[in-house]
Structure 1
Amino acid sequence: MDKPLKFNLKRPHQFFALGFGTGLAPKAPGTVGTLAALPFIFATMALPIWFQVSLAILMTIFGVWICGKTARDVDVHDHPAIVWDEVVGFYITMIGAAISWQSLLVGFALFRFFDIAKPGPIRMLDKKLHGGRGIMADDVLAGIFSLICIQALFKTGVLGG
């Protein structure tokens, strides 16, 4: 018989790793968990790019620890409920973007595409790295790919801003 998972939102590292509880959504926890990035995006959208990049780096370093520890707690590498990596990936996507419902929707769709499809180097990172680094790395790279795409859409005028 499988041992029951030991998620506990009262444990701070699990609270964050589970995207403030959004990762416990019964359907599409990664997609729901991605939305937990919105408070970070809205809180920092008017701040300088250097601050947004610094915060993304700190969130990534923090994520390596909390995601790795939570995965060890439940003895499952990259359990679908662990969504801090999605939070960070979507946050990275929106760094420096002019925030509107259109840019958020496009950024969300781009990030989810790269996170799910895992093209080329994203797939390689997903397969080669383990623990907290492995959980975080593919989503950080998916966020960077999405950031490049959304900025290109702004530069070409496809997205207003």
Structure 2
Amino acid sequence: MSDKKILTPEQRGRLTSSLAGWIACGFGSGLAPKAQGTFGSLAALLPWLLLRQLPLPLYALAAVLAFALGVWACNVAGRALGVDDHRSLVWDEFVGQWIALVPALLAPWWAVLAGFALFRLFDVGKPWPIGWLDRHLKGGLGVMVDDVVAGVFAAVVLGVGLALLR
């Protein structure tokens, strides 16, 4: 078993040599030397700019499909790395960030910044039940679920905040 923080050259090669690895590491954003989750969340904003053009039902469908893809990709990549939830696996940040930004779809530009910050706050802080899920669920599902819940928490806080400002 490898340290969760540092990818060996062999692990990096295993991750980048497969489609599942490229998806799981957020198309390379998770290979940053530090703050992989933040880099993954930032990278998630690029496809979000396209996703936000979709009607809400299609946006939700895209998020559900991305979640299922992430469970598969993170499971395969985690097995290849020999680590259940390595910090280089950031597809969960993509999906969680997209969920967090649902209230920002029709909001001013600063709501995107607020949604980003709120998602990072809940993802890093891991209040209950996020921390519990992170510790108890394993494999691809475990990688994905805690960030989905962090995204829901961030979306609720952002949505309430936007409603109070109207």
Fold similarity call, TM over 0.5: yes
> Aligned letter for 2:91?
W
Confirm or deny that 1:46 pairs with 2:64: no
Q: Work out which of the residue numbers 149, 155, 162 in structure 2 matches 1:141.
A: 149
SS at match of 2:89: coil
Q: What's the CA shift for 1:101?
A: 3.5
Confirm or deny that 1:131 pairs with 2:142: no
Which residues of structure 1 form unaligned runs of 5+? none
1:47-92 superposed Cα distances (whole Å, 9 cap, x missing partner) = 2111111111111111000001100001011111100001110011
Which residues of structure 2 form unaligned runs of 5+? 3-7
Separation (CA, whole Å) in 2 of partners of 1:39 and 1:26: 21
> Aligned letter for 2:23?
F
Counterpart residue number, 2:98: 91
Separation (CA, whole Å) in 1 of partners of 2:54 and 2:78: 33
Runs (4+) of structure 1 exceeding 3 A deviation are none
Q: Work out which of the residue numbers 106, 111, 124 in structure 1 matches 2:119.
A: 111
> Aligned letter for 1:95?
V
TM-score, length-scaled by structure 1: 0.91
Separation (CA, whole Å) in 2 of partners of 1:33 and 1:145: 18
> Aligned letter for 2:120?
R
Counterpart residue number, 1:154: 162
Confirm or deny that 1:37 pairs with 2:44: yes
Separation (CA, whole Å) in 2 of partners of 1:111 and 1:14: 24
> Aligned letter for 2:156?
I
Residues 40 and 91 in structure 1, CA contact (< 8 A), matched pair in contact too: no
TM-score, length-scaled by structure 2: 0.88
1:95-116 superposed Cα distances (whole Å, 9 cap, x missing partner) = 2422544112111110001001
Equivalent pairs counted in the alignment come to 158
Residues 15 and 77 in structure 2, CA contact (< 8 A), matched pair in contact too: no
Q: Work out which of the residue numbers 42, 61, 69 in structure 2 matches 1:62.
A: 69
> Aligned letter for 1:42?
L
Separation (CA, whole Å) in 1 of partners of 2:90 and 2:18: 15
1:10-66 superposed Cα distances (whole Å, 9 cap, x missing partner) = 411111111110100112111011112112211121321111111111111110000
Distance 1:105 1:152, change over 3 A: same
Separation (CA, whole Å) in 2 of partners of 1:104 and 1:26: 25
SS at match of 1:102: helix
